[in-house]
Structure 1
């Protein structure tokens, strides 16, 4: 194990783009913006590039969308 390997166990820093993301700081997971749960990078499928948020699944993504688009 080298110094770089130790960083892979924690939270990654990711830049979310349209249809892809770029890992800025290596890690094994990101946090869901709605639930706070850990999302392994290999399971990350839902995010919002405008808000730079990750979501654990479609339910969480829809919940955030509804929060942002409710009529006042």
Structure 2
């Protein structure tokens, strides 16, 4: 049994706020909007409130912001 099995397994649904998030549907992880990597909830540190997207790393967050600015 691994860490994901203990928590409940599947993907969680979250609402991202300023400095915190709220769990809408419980799960063990969310998927990075840029890389597709599964992020265990206890390791989730980066997200965008306006886009409601989680990111695995600060680099992934920066990449998304650069993509958005490039389109503007």
Question: Would you call these one fold, judging by a TM-score over 0.5?
Answer: yes
Q: Where does residue 48 of structure 1 map in the other structure? A: 48
Compare CA radii of gyration and give the structure with the larger one. 1
TM-score by length of 2: 0.86
Following the alignment from structure 2 to structure 1, what is the Cα–Cα distance between the partners of residues 18 and 60?
18
Instruction: Please say which of residues 44-53 and 7-16 is displaced more in the overlay.
Output: 7-16
TM-score by length of 1: 0.86
SS in 2 for 1:70: helix
> Unpaired runs of 5+ in structure 2?
none
Deviation track 1:29-50 (CA, whole Å, cap 9, x = no partner) reads: 0000001110000000000010
What RMSD over aligned residues (CA atoms) do the two structures have, in Å?
A: 2.0
> Unpaired runs of 5+ in structure 1?
none
SS in 2 for 1:47: strand
Q: Where does residue 26 of structure 2 map in the other structure? A: 26
Q: Where does residue 68 of structure 1 map in the other structure? A: 68
Following the alignment from structure 1 to structure 2, what is the Cα–Cα distance between the partners of residues 44 and 17?
13
